[in-house]
Amino acid sequence: MEKIKNVTSDFIKKHNIVSYLFIGIAMFFLALMLAAQMKAVSDTTEVAQGKREAQLIDDLRNIQNKYNDLKVKYEDKSKIVEEYKNNASNNDSLIASMKEEQKQLSIISGVTDVVGEGIIITLTDGENVTDSSLRTDTLVHDSDVLTVVNELKAAGAEAISVNDQRIIAGSAIRCVGPVIQVNYQKVAAPFVIKAVGNAQYLESAMNIKNGVADLLKELGIGVKITREKEVKILKFDGTINFKTARLAE
């Protein structure tokens, strides 16, 4: 028996079986770890691939939606362009209408020269005070010029000037010493008041019995009214500034 143990011990020492056994076990566990690692990597790759595909699908959907929106806007703009092309004649009429309206507004605001039939009124200082006069002089006052201008406006005058000073909405007529100031410009007698409008109607309004002309004559002021086929009135030559007024929204 002792002999068998010795033979076995010598065999193991000779062939180093224990070392091979440990190496085999280590290799087996290493193979298991490698297999597990490869499985984990494979699962991670599949998850990442799935997420990437989902993201690409979302991006594609977003691009498709933006494309559809742009397509709708393009179609809308194309319709507008086509309408402009089809309505070219209507656009020409609209532009012509706008130009005509601009001309009318220019006349009303006084920023352009105008010409047309009308009357010319000349006021001159008188020489003698009449018995019925309420004044002690026969000079033309600012109130006299203003009375004539207001009467012309009421009679439908389309444009008025005093000594070539265009009367606009903001014009002021006032006395400054021996002269009268119109649009902050000094003017003196004789006062030539021009009005464009229906000449017959304007003349009748001024010469009506007990009207403006009769009143001025009673004050001793010289009044001359002439009807003209063509009266030219110059544009307003000053500066129009609006510090407070603005367009209502």
Band of residue 12 on the pLDDT scale cut at 50, 70, 90: very low
Separation between Cα atoms, residue 64 and residue 45, nearest integer Å: 28
Asked if the model's pLDDT at residue 25 lies above 80, the reply is no
Say which DSSP state 5 is in.
Answer: H
Q: Pick from 197, 175, 7: which is nearest to 108 by CA?
A: 197
In the predicted structure, residue 87 carries a pLDDT above the cut 70: no
User: What is the band of 143 on the pLDDT scale with cuts at 50, 70, 90?
Assistant: very high
Confidence band (pLDDT; 50, 70, 90) for 14?
A: very low
Full-model pTM:
0.61
Tens-digit pLDDT profile for residues 217-232: 988 899 999 999 999 9
- Residue scoring higher pLDDT (54 or 76): 76
**Cα distance between residue 196 and residue 171, in whole Å:** 17
The mean pLDDT value of the chain amounts to 78
Query: Which residues, 6 or more positions from 118, have their beta carbon under 8 angstroms from its beta carbon?
Result: 157, 194, 195, 196, 197, 199, 202, 227, 228, 231
Q: Alpha carbon of 123 to those of 21, 99, 126: distances in Å?
A: 140, 38, 9
Is residue 219 a contact partner of residue 135, using CB atoms and an 8 Å limit?
yes
Q: Residue 239 — φ and ψ, nearest 5°?
A: -115, 130
